[in-house]
Amino acid sequence: MTTTVSSESALPLPEFDQYAGSYADYLDDPLRGRFASDPLHFHRRKWMLIQSMLKRADMDPARSRWLDVGCGQGSLLEVAGKHFSHASGCDPSAGMLSSCASFSVRAQASPVALPYEDHSVDFVTSVCVYHHVHGEDRTLLTSEIRRVLAPGGLYCIVEHNPWNPATQIIVGRCAVDVDAELLSAPSAGRLLEASGFELLRTSYFLYLPEKLFSRFGAMESALERVPLGGQYALLGRAPA
């Protein structure tokens, strides 16, 4: 594991350091548990969606360098990392990163600066990150993501959908989300476009609980334009 630790010790500790030791317990919720008994289901489902988006956008993961911004404990990297030529993650919380044993991860010294070279990756994800980023920092983080992406590179934002009532209930009572400011897919799309990305696709997902998804998963694809899924994913392309 590559961990770059901030030298600015006067800064407050990153918010998620306080949750890192018992993160799974903090996420535990009866409604969420009824939706999927295995928390990895959510990450597998995201990877299925991301895979189909990359295919449509003509990007081959096996030939692409992927960076997961705000990777937390690295669950998506665990599920999908092996499909990329290189997979890495970063997060302001060194506590969260301490669980990412098998991937190259770096701590962000600032919430709006990424410890990577210009144009050094082909694909970036940020999963459930923006609702913890506030005000102008959202724009600064998005511009920073564009900086590290190669020309024509792809960026996928996954977020909670504020228009889904179950999502609102779960977020409303989750201690980790005490500061959460959910953003709708159209707001996330405007954020992408303001940083120069071309918005390629918006897909809503997480309509069906895990048990039904295994039998009727195709139904979710049919509903991807209906803005009521538990979460949504947006795909943008950086200028060539």
Ligand X SMILES: C[S@@+](CC[C@H](N)C(=O)[O-])C[C@H]1O[C@@H](n2cnc3c(N)ncnc32)[C@H](O)[C@@H]1O
Q: Which CB, 68 or 224, lies closer to ligand X?
A: 68
Report in angstroms how near the CB of residue 237 gets to ligand X at its nearest: 21
∠ Cα 125 112 202 (to 5°): 30
Q: Which CB, 97 or 154, lies closer to ligand X?
A: 97
Report in angstroms how near the CB of residue 105 gets to ligand X at its nearest: 11
3-state SS string over 159-203?
A: EECCCCHHHHHHHHCCHHHCCCCCCCHHHHHHHHHHCCCEEEEEE
**Per CB under 6 A, does 230 bind ligand X?**
no
Q: Which CB, 64 or 75, lies closer to ligand X?
A: 75
Positions 69 through 128 that interact with ligand X (CB under 6 A): 69-72, 75-76, 91-93, 96, 108, 111, 127-128
Measure the CA–CA gap between 101 and 103, rounded to whole angstroms: 6
Measure the CA–CA gap between 209 and 33, rounded to whole angstroms: 10
Measure the CA–CA gap between 8 and 204, rounded to whole angstroms: 39
Report in angstroms how near the CB of residue 4 gets to ligand X at its nearest: 14
123 neighbors 88 (Cβ within 8 angstroms): no
Report in angstroms how near the CB of residue 222 gets to ligand X at its nearest: 25
233 neighbors 50 (Cβ within 8 angstroms): yes
Positions 126 through 165 that interact with ligand X (CB under 6 A): 127-129, 132-133, 141
Report in angstroms how near the CB of residue 55 gets to ligand X at its nearest: 22
Q: Which stretch binds ligand X (CB under 6 A): 2-10, 64-72, 161-169, 214-222?
A: 64-72
Q: Which CB, 16 or 116, lies closer to ligand X?
A: 16
> Which class for 217: exposed (0-12), middle (13-18), buried (19 or more C-beta within 10 A)?
middle
Report in angstroms how near the CB of residue 61 gets to ligand X at its nearest: 18
Amino acid identity, position 8 = E
Amino acid identity, position 12 = P
For ligand X, the binding residues (CB under 6 A) are: 14, 16, 69-72, 75-76, 91-93, 96, 108, 111, 127-129, 132-133, 141
